[in-house]
């Protein structure tokens, strides 16, 4: 009690010596509403980095052991493969047929078969038409028979490194100048040309004799040896008006594959040497004859490199030519030798291998417009065609794209331009009494050709082929003044062919040929002069079917010009219209099937 009393007195003494703080009156407003902020939660677990690393060490020992890794494969039984029956091969066949109107057909092919030493055989073909004019349209024109006969014998001898080959052939082509309207003839001429006595005066035929012999090497591209092909050939044309042409030619090339440049791929160096000589004799009908001699020598030297899908060709070509004109009155023989030089270049780039390739080439040539080539192209030219020239292509440029769009669809889109001296055109012979014969005319100028080629094997038994061409000719002023337009040259051409095999028993065929925008020179009796007009289009559709009765025996039926269009490629030379041809084919001369050697028979 006393202790508490003392503590209280001491406390009061201390408090009595202290100054108190002055107090003022203050008022506070408590309107603050505290809120928590929306902070982003951290969901990642905490990572504790332990800086302390404990080392564990202990002793161990592995006893070596030998493992058994031997392997014994299980026995596999061989598969049993059935032998495919070998198809019988027949080296000969004979084909005969007959059609409307009166069109016989005959073909024969004979071959010696498979041999390592020899190859020889015979081919014969004949097709003709002899019917009188049928139908309202064809009866307006003259009698129009024709005949086409060919026969060839060939022989080849195979050696280890060379092959000797040869052939002899004969062709007979017969036609008539039927391109005149019978009603337009005076009575005197009508009896003269349609009667039995003088009807052969309109007959135009020629015989063609040919022969060839040559030797070529058998080396493959991979073999580094000199490769060559040297060939001599003869062609003789003998017309029924005693006009004839003799042609002797030499065609050869020498090539060598070498790696002179240190680059990958193949390298080919080649020399081509060609020589052609033409001798023409024209019978004027007055017991005199005119002659002309023409020749051309054309060497070419170039190199060709192949690097995978890329190809390059560089070279130069030359032509020394002389066209000898017939020694007619007022036209002395041309004896000057003309020299033509042109580059040779080619470039092919495989943009997408096997699908898209781009190519371009550059070249030229000098080609003789021979009597033989003219007769096969236009059998209605006039007799004694003495004006034959060389066509000198100073430059030929071509380029395009080709490849495969889809499986087994091949395409080629191209453009070709050539500038030439003395391009050949057919023009009406103004001296022909019936206005039904043709002469030749020449013009300097250019020719542009844009084309498309498609080949599609849609299925194993369906194939389609389509061609389209556009032609544009540029002629000189002299030709324009005389004829206005390039004559008998369609500006647009289309061709199609399709084959379908049904169950290895029937083969169906569909085809057509079309030509548009061609011009002709036609005699206008009202103005008593020739005038240039556009020709009617060429529309020719055909159907065919072949019945494979047996491996040896088949039958066929062809229907040509289904639309019965009496189109004409030259003035008044109308097509006969629809024609039907039926026949059979028989194969014979069965080739022997060689059996493989048995195990006992092998040495």
Identify whether residues 255 and 355 lie together within a single domain: yes
Last-in-domain residue among 393, 419, 441: 393
Residue 195 covered by a domain: yes
Residue 553 covered by a domain: no
Residue range 290-312: average pLDDT?
Answer: 90
Last-in-domain residue among 347, 367, 393: 393
Identify whether residues 120 and 208 lie together within a single domain: yes
Residue 310 covered by a domain: yes
Element containing residue 237 per DSSP (H, E): strand 226-239
pLDDT digits (tens, 9 = 90+) for 422-439: 999 999 998 888 888 999
Output the pLDDT for position 270. Answer: 93
Average pLDDT, the chain: 85
Identify whether residues 175 and 262 lie together within a single domain: no
Best-predicted range by mean pLDDT among 177-186, 346-355, 552-561? 552-561
CB contact at 8 A, 409 and 422: no
Residue 88 covered by a domain: no
CB contact at 8 A, 579 and 562: no
Q: What pTM did the predictor assign? A: 0.80
pLDDT digits (tens, 9 = 90+) for 516-541: 999 999 988 888 889 999 999 999 99
Residue 177 covered by a domain: yes
CB contact at 8 A, 288 and 329: no
If phi > 0 it is left, if psi is from -120 to 50 it is alpha, else beta; for residue 408 that is left
Residue 175's domain comprises 107-218
Residue 338 covered by a domain: yes
Identify whether 101 is preceded by a cis peptide bond (ω within 30 of 0): yes
Residue from 236, 178, 174 nearest 205 by CA: 174
Identify whether residues 245 and 214 lie together within a single domain: no
Identify whether residues 303 and 338 lie together within a single domain: yes
Return the SS3 of 173: strand
Backbone torsions φ then ψ of 93, nearest 5 degrees: -155, 155
Structure tokens at 93: 């066949």
Q: What angle do CA 218, 219, 222 make, to 5 degrees?
A: 155
Find residue 495's DSSP bridge partners.
Answer: 467, 513
Residue 403 covered by a domain: no
Identify whether residues 246 and 389 lie together within a single domain: yes
pLDDT(281) > 50: yes
Identify whether residues 281 and 346 lie together within a single domain: yes
Identify whether residues 178 and 121 lie together within a single domain: yes
Identify whether residues 254 and 388 lie together within a single domain: yes
Cα 379–chain centre separation: 26
CB contact at 8 A, 259 and 401: no
Q: Percent helix, strand, coil in the chain (nearest 5)? A: 10, 55, 40
Identify whether residues 293 and 178 lie together within a single domain: no
Residue 261 covered by a domain: yes
Identify whether residues 287 and 179 lie together within a single domain: no
Identify whether residues 336 and 275 lie together within a single domain: yes
pLDDT(274) > 80: yes
Last-in-domain residue among 187, 218, 249: 218
Three state DSSP letters for 155-182: EEEECCCEEEEEEEEEEEEEEECCCCEH
Query: What is the count of structural domains for the chain?
Result: 2
Determine which of 28-32, 207-211, 261-265 has the lowest per-residue pLDDT on average.
28-32
């Amino acid at each position: 009690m006393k202790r508490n009393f003392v503590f209280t007195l001491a406390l009061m003494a201390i408090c009595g010596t202290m100054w108190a703080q002055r107090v003022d009156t203050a008022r506070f407003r408590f309107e603050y509403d505290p809120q928590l902020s929306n902070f982003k939660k951290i969901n990642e677990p905490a990572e504790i980095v332990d800086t302390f690393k404990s080392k564990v060490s202990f002793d161990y020992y592995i006893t070596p052991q030998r493992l058994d890794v031997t392997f014994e494969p299980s026995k596999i039984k061989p598969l049993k493969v059935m032998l495919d029956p070998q198809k019988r091969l027949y080296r000969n066949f004979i084909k005969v047929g007959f059609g409307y109107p009166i069109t016989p057909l005959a073909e024969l092919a004979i071959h010696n078969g498979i041999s390592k030493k020899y190859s020889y055989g015979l081919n014969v073909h004949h097709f003709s038409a002899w019917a009188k004019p049928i139908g309202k349209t064809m009866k307006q024109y003259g009698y129009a028979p024709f005949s086409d006969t060919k026969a060839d014998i060939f022989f080849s001898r195979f050696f280890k490194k060379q092959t000797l080959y040869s052939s002899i052939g004969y062709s007979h082509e017969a036609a008539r100048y039927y391109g005149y309207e019978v009603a337009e003839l005076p009575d005197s001429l009508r009896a003269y040309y349609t009667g039995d006595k003088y009807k052969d005066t309109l007959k135009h035929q020629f015989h063609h004799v040919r022969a060839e012999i040559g030797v070529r090497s058998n080396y493959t591209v991979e073999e580094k040896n000199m490769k060559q092909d040297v060939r001599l050939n003869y062609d003789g044309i003998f017309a029924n008006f005693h006009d004839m042409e003799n042609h002797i030619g030499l065609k050869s090339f020498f090539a060598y594959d070498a790696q002179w440049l240190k680059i990958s791929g193949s390298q080919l160096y080649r020399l081509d040497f060609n020589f052609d000589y033409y001798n023409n004799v024209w019978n004027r009908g007055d017991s005199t004859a005119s002659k002309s001699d023409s020749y051309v020598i054309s060497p070419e030297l170039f190199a060709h490199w192949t690097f995978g899908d890329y190809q390059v060709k560089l070279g130069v070509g030359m032509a020394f030519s002389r066209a000898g004109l017939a020694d007619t009155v007022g036209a002395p023989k041309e004896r000057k030798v003309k020299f033509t030089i042109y580059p040779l270049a080619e470039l092919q780039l495989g943009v997408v291998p096997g699908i898209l390739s781009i190519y371009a080439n550059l070249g030229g040539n000098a080609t003789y417009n021979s009597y033989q080539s003219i007769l096969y192209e236009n059998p209605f030219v006039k007799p004694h065609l003495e004006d034959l020239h060389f066509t000198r292509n100073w430059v030929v440029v071509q380029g395009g794209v080709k490849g495969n769009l889809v499986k087994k669809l091949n395409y080629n889109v191209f453009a070709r331009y050539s500038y030439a001296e003395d391009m050949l055109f057919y023009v009406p012979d103004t001296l022909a009494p019936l206005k039904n014969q043709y002469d030749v005319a020449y013009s300097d100028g250019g020719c542009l050709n844009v084309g498309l080629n498609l080949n599609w094997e849609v299925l194993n038994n369906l194939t389609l082929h389509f061609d389209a061409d556009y032609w544009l000719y540029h002629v000189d002023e002299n030709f324009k003044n005389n004829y206005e337009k390039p004559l008998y040259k369609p500006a647009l051409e289309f061709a199609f062919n399709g084959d379908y095999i049904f169950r290895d028993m029937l083969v169906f065929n569909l085809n057509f040929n079309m030509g548009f925008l061609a011009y002709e020179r036609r005699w206008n009796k009202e103005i008593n002069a020739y005038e240039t007009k556009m020709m009617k289009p060429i529309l020719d559709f055909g159907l065919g079917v072949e019945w494979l009765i047996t491996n040896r025996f088949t039958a066929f039926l062809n229907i040509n010009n289904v639309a019965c269009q009496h189109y004409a490629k030259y003035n008044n030379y109308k097509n006969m219209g629809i024609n039907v041809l039926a026949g059979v084919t028989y194969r014979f001369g069965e080739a022997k099937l060689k059996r493989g050697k048995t195990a006992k028979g092998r040495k």
